[in-house]
Structure 1
């Protein structure tokens, strides 16, 4: 009888672990979520190309944040808009494109790992980096919640 109780207790503990641990494991979101996230990326890129940084700020959750390399956290849509307006002040808007997508999540939160390239208005590559974006569903719409990126190493020319 004692062995049966231990077995039952062990079984309950293991099944509790599985019940709580499995949802925490990253999985592939539904194809609809991936398509919706890619559509949000298009909206972000379109706003960037127009120089409409206020529109970019509206694509983030109320407490959305940028986590730029070497810089302080930038929180809130209007502060995010100001960050991009200051960063690109006096420049004609360029283009941004995203590629090499990986998606993890569910119907409430999705993490995107991708590459980003920014080109000036002449088409010259001015930035190439990788990013991790966390999207949350807020009031039925996908919004950026965390936006973190860093550069790819620059290629040094061979001086031989």
Structure 2
């Protein structure tokens, strides 16, 4: 005689497969949270375009960390401001745009997976990147806590 558990296991497996990986691994945050995170991305992009690296630093938690490709961790809002100011010292600011968002989390912690495109001030494509960002809610404000990115590889002739 079969137990009820033996009969329920195939049903549970089928349900998990049908629900997809997001349901199995993490809850998706509410639409209002996603909109708030996208607004933070827009603030970051705007500050970057203006060359306001102090404003970029203020978008991070006090112990926020950049996990840059090929370099050491950059820890702390002030160090993050300094990092961008040193890289772009004397240069016309570039622009960045973000797309292909995935969000995982809740109303306190959200992980964002997205793509970014970096262009110079004339609009020339400089790089295409992938990133993982972790945001923490502090009071009523979402702050970047971890920022990790890597490049999609060398640009090919004709990339725009």
Normalised by the shorter chain, which TM-score bucket?
A: 0.7 to 0.9
Q: Deviations over 1:127-146 (max 9, x none)?
A: 21000000000122100000
Give the distance between the partners of 1:103 and 1:117, measured in 2 at CA.
Answer: 19
Count, aligned residues: 134
Give the distance between the partners of 2:149 and 2:61, measured in 1 at CA.
Answer: 18
Q: Deviations over 1:90-117 (max 9, x none)?
A: 2101210000100000000000000011
Shift of residue 25 of structure 1?
A: 3.6
- TM-score scaled by length of structure 2: 0.81
Question: Over alpha carbons, which structure has the higher Rg?
Answer: 1
Q: Which position in structure 2 is the counterpart of 1:119?
A: 119
Q: Which position in structure 2 is the counterpart of 1:19?
A: none
Q: Which position in structure 1 is the counterpart of 2:63?
A: 63
Query: Helix, strand or coil: the match of 2:145?
Result: strand
Give the distance between the partners of 1:25 and 1:127, measured in 2 at CA.
Answer: 31
Give the distance between the partners of 1:94 and 1:153, measured in 2 at CA.
Answer: 19
Give the distance between the partners of 2:156 and 2:115, measured in 1 at CA.
Answer: 20
Q: Deviations over 1:8-60 (max 9, x none)?
A: xxxxxxxxxxxxxxxx9411100010000000000000000000000000000
Q: Which position in structure 2 is the counterpart of 1:137?
A: 137
Following TM superposition, where does structure 1 have runs of at least 4 consecutive aligned residues deviating by more than 6 angstroms? none
Matched ranges for 1:17-56 at <5 A: 25-56=25-56
CA pair 51-155 structure 1, distance change in 2 beyond 3 A = closer
Give the distance between the partners of 1:150 and 1:135, measured in 2 at CA.
Answer: 18
Aligned CA RMSD, in angstroms, stands at 1.3
